[in-house]
Structure 1
Amino acid sequence: MTHENKFGMFIHWGLYGATGVQDQVFARMDWPREKYEALMHAFNPVKYDPEKWVLLAKEAGMEYICFTTKHHDGFCMWDTAYTDYKITNTPYGKDVLKMLADACAKHGMKLSFYYSCPDWHHENGYNPASTHQWKAHTENGIDHAPYLEYVRGQVRELCTNYGPLYTFFWDIPPRIKDPSFNEMIRELQPGIYINDRGYDVGDFSTPEREYKSAEGDRFTRMTEACNSLGEQSWGYRSNEDFYSMRHLTSAIDRMMAMGASYLLNVGPNGEGEITEDYASRLRRIGDWYKRMEGALVCHEADDFNYKIKANKAIVTKKNGKSYFHFPDGIRSSSVALQYFPNMPKSVRLLNTGKPLNASFDLLPEYFSNGQAQPFLHITGIPVDDLANEAIVIEIEW
């Protein structure tokens, strides 16, 4: 995630996928616990094919998959020994996590696990110190300690039975400090990266959804940003409000140019499919990403004091080349640099792979009291054709 930042697939899948509404439908629509939990008795994702998911991720240029092993509802998507509220007690009956782990191993895809700290099913899961809690099982007070041991046992299973893990994604900070959880994970999975939403500070930060950093153009800490293809839900939604290509490519470009990894989420449905409305959008994002990948991964900040007229850019460098990222777009068909090291050897628009024209020009807009400084004037950018995606220009000096 610092020098090895990556593009990954986030997968939110559980009982909520069968509702077609939203991943937190249980709490947000105030369903009785019995109504929601009865979904497990009909949950039968017969179209689940994890190999298709892995191949879709690879097609989009993704290098890892982060899977929701347990979301806030407490339903477990693996064959845990700690509860009967799990995938292997549904009509489907199979350990979908093991199937996914095997498919990832087969195709060389790194695997990460998401685990929710809140648990709306466990009788001791209620934690008044945290957020995203649901109604306590009793009004007589909750002893949270047994739940912490439940979490410890489940995380040990996850870190023992499913092969090597790339990252561990705790969700919803419990506001309980206990470094022993992360210590156990590191002992069982040497070299793993752990995020900042668990029982200790972890290795990396996790900005989510709409986010523009106040840190400038470079994250000062390892970072993994995340967003979903749709605006309303992380889980499957049958009438989702999908983000535009421009919105998502801008977000990915901005975060990865600042040094972050990026998780882009899909929500499979109750039958176990990533439906075509999700998959087609992911392929389009992937088509853009693969054209940009050289500028988005394993780079460093370019600290040369470029002054870019009229457009805001994040500038990175790699292998003797500078990359000018314009996540907010370019307002005209040219870019002008006021300060530059020398005439570049080449200028290329990564979106198309085609060269751009570059020359030293005096620009009338910037004449001042008879004094004019030449600009490095990059022209011929097809801004109208690229209105739906973030633009990146490569300059070799």
Structure 2
Amino acid sequence: MNSIKQILAGLVMTGCSLGLSAQQHNFSHEYIVPTDPLVKEKLAQWQDLKFGLFMHWGIYSQWGVVESWSICPEDEGWTVRRGPYSATYDGYKKAYEGLQKTFNPVQFDPAKWARAAKDAGMKYVVFTTKHHDGFSMFDTRQTDYRITSPNTPFSSNPKANIAKEVFEVFRKDEFMIGAYFSKPDWHDPNYWWPYFPPKDRNTNYDPKKHPEKWDAFKQFTHRQIDELMTDYGRVDILWLDGGWVRPYHTIDTSISWQRTIPYEQDIDMRTVAAAGRAKQPGLLVVDRTVGGEFENYVTPEQTIPPGVLDYPWESCITMGTSWSYVPGDRYKPAQEIIGMLLKIVSRGGSLLLNIGPSPEGDFDPDAYARLAEIGDWMKVNGEAIYGTVPLAPHEKDGLFFLQSKDGQRDFIFLAGDDKGVVNLPEKIVLPGYELPAGAKLVCLADKRARIKAESSGGNTTLVLPRGLRARKDLRYAVSFAVSR
């Protein structure tokens, strides 16, 4: 077998030109409000958190390639095979699955991740327990294609049950815990049946013609999810990916990738949700892109909705160019990430920011640097982010408007320039916003600064003192709090 360095040279020298993050998923607009009181309570708690950490991690990190998709036999930009094994599909898939035998992330230290995420102001985590390739990052008893198998070198490590280690450490730091789980499993012989070659991302046989195969796969899926709900402590979110595994009647033919779904692929979400909530009361279930009662919040991917949505949502967005680890990846600057956070929160959503750990089990130093920069800003401005709701006019002229849930405080952010520098003018006009009578106004970056304000014609003008305007250390966005 070629060395990892040789493989990387063939696979990732072109960096983001591989189209690693090209695929985007549409999100459903058919939202159904949960009726379970515990689910409603947890959903309200989650909506207050606003900022979370996503981690895509698996054996694919060794090659620095897109997670799972290079073994999918579709002619798409994000499924392109490169490197010494790419000449034939079968040879490539065999080599890819052989990565289990070399996966040994000895630098894995989830406490380091949790500290960095907490310092950045993140409040929940979603970790990939299993992606579409079927490799389980937890101690499942359903397959040997797992991190704790004797076939995986890391299995002898005391922290071998990676998902459990991640959940326990982040839970101690008071994060909400989310388990990402792929509904399709391209390794399981009852999903991609070896009798037929795989044709695309879907199951390669008609479940109606071979119901015994599909039932076996469905039971395999239920057992794996049950393990996660049973043996891994408190789990708050079951984040289900692979939206082509769905009841046929839910397909939206106006969406190109859904038009290609050839079969009914129903895994019985009613049973999944009920069984999960029997062991994890109030569990949020996110059957993403499917809509209906088992998508408790929606998840636009790599995009931000154009305006306020009237149902719970999060944008899941990569810090780099890829969901999974890529050597030398370009990470978004802090001002871009904070700008996304403000745009998302002012529209009523949450930001789930993804970082892909390396094959050794750590983040890139640039990712840690971004988290630290974001954290410095959140320590000053976080009170204007958490537990807020949108406030009209929401976003205008570089300003973002939010309000506390109890309506007692308004928050207005002035965004910095494209380098993250905030140059405060003498006056700031807040269009479409009138200052409440008797309100108290402070700048969160300098609560001693005396700010004058006057409202007329439906607008408010802030007059900033010279000392505040003279500050050169203001970065990314400056927030003002209006207390009634």
Same fold (TM over 0.5): yes
Q: Does 2:301 match 1:208?
A: yes
How many residue pairs align between the two structures?
377
1 CA distance for matches of 2:470 and 2:80?
44
Deviations 1:352-376 (CA, angstroms, capped at 9, x unpaired): 65636324389xxxxxxxxxx6953
1 CA distance for matches of 2:446 and 2:134?
46
Deviation at 1:195, TM superposition (A): 1.3
> Corresponding residue for 1:337?
430
User: More displaced, 319-328 or 174-183?
Assistant: 319-328
Q: Does 2:233 match 1:169?
A: no
- Shift of the 35–221 alpha-carbon distance from structure 1 to 2, 3 Å rule, reads same
2 CA distance for matches of 1:356 and 1:317?
22
2 CA distance for matches of 1:85 and 1:307?
48
Deviation at 1:92, TM superposition (A): 0.7
Q: Does 2:164 match 1:91?
A: no
Deviation at 1:75, TM superposition (A): 0.6
2 CA distance for matches of 1:136 and 1:377?
60
> For the Cα contact (< 8 Å) 2:179–2:239, is it kept in 1?
yes
- Shift of the 59–342 alpha-carbon distance from structure 1 to 2, 3 Å rule, reads closer
Deviation at 1:290, TM superposition (A): 2.8
Amino acid at match of 1:224: E
Amino acid at match of 1:292: N
Q: Does 2:80 match 1:29?
A: yes
Deviation at 1:241, TM superposition (A): 2.2
Deviation at 1:164, TM superposition (A): 0.7
Q: Quick one: which of 349, 353, 365 aligns to 1:260?
A: 349
Deviation at 1:258, TM superposition (A): 3.2
2 CA distance for matches of 1:135 and 1:307?
41
Deviation at 1:187, TM superposition (A): 1.4
Deviations 1:250-300 (CA, angstroms, capped at 9, x unpaired): 111222233333321111111111231211111212222232221112223
Q: Does 2:59 match 1:15?
A: yes
> Corresponding residue for 2:272?
181
User: More displaced, 188-197 or 326-335?
Assistant: 326-335
Q: Does 2:371 match 1:300?
A: no
> Corresponding residue for 1:67?
127
- Shift of the 180–384 alpha-carbon distance from structure 1 to 2, 3 Å rule, reads farther
1 CA distance for matches of 2:167 and 2:455?
56
User: More displaced, 147-156 or 282-291?
Assistant: 282-291
> Corresponding residue for 1:48?
108
> Corresponding residue for 2:460?
376
What SS is found at the alignment partner of 2:272? Answer: helix
RMSD: 3.4
Q: Does 2:236 match 1:153?
A: no
1 CA distance for matches of 2:183 and 2:367?
27
1 CA distance for matches of 2:357 and 2:163?
14
Deviation at 1:11, TM superposition (A): 1.2
2 CA distance for matches of 1:139 and 1:191?
35
Deviations 1:227-260 (CA, angstroms, capped at 9, x unpaired): 1211x21111112122222221111122223333
Deviations 1:307-352 (CA, angstroms, capped at 9, x unpaired): 9985553332356221124569799724213652456643333356
User: More displaced, 387-396 or 171-180?
Assistant: 387-396
Q: Quick one: which of 173, 183, 198 aligns to 1:117?
A: 183
What SS is found at the alignment partner of 2:167? Answer: helix
- Shift of the 198–301 alpha-carbon distance from structure 1 to 2, 3 Å rule, reads closer
What SS is found at the alignment partner of 1:210? Answer: coil
Deviations 1:10-64 (CA, angstroms, capped at 9, x unpaired): 1111111112233246332335210111111011111111221222222222222
1 CA distance for matches of 2:436 and 2:359?
58
Deviations 1:50-106 (CA, angstroms, capped at 9, x unpaired): 221222222222222211000111110011111111001200102112222332344
> Corresponding residue for 1:321?
409
Deviations 1:132-158 (CA, angstroms, capped at 9, x unpaired): 954867899874332222111100011
1 CA distance for matches of 2:365 and 2:430?
43
Amino acid at match of 2:349: A
Q: Determine which structure has the larger helix proportion and give its number.
A: 2
Deviation at 1:113, TM superposition (A): 0.3
Deviation at 1:388, TM superposition (A): 6.0
Q: Does 2:196 match 1:196?
A: no
2 CA distance for matches of 1:120 and 1:139?
15
Q: Does 2:319 match 1:229?
A: yes
Please give the TM-score of this superposition, normalised by the length of structure 2: 0.69
- Shift of the 16–355 alpha-carbon distance from structure 1 to 2, 3 Å rule, reads farther
What SS is found at the alignment partner of 1:222? Answer: coil
What SS is found at the alignment partner of 2:221? Answer: helix
What SS is found at the alignment partner of 1:323? Answer: strand
> For the Cα contact (< 8 Å) 1:356–1:378, is it kept in 2?
no
> Corresponding residue for 1:366?
none
- Shift of the 22–348 alpha-carbon distance from structure 1 to 2, 3 Å rule, reads farther
Please give the TM-score of this superposition, normalised by the length of structure 1: 0.82
Q: Does 2:69 match 1:2?
A: no
- Shift of the 374–135 alpha-carbon distance from structure 1 to 2, 3 Å rule, reads closer
> For the Cα contact (< 8 Å) 2:402–2:410, is it kept in 1?
yes
> For the Cα contact (< 8 Å) 2:341–2:351, is it kept in 1?
yes
> For the Cα contact (< 8 Å) 1:123–1:136, is it kept in 2?
no
**5+ residue gaps in structure 2?**
1-42, 72-78, 87-91, 194-198, 248-265
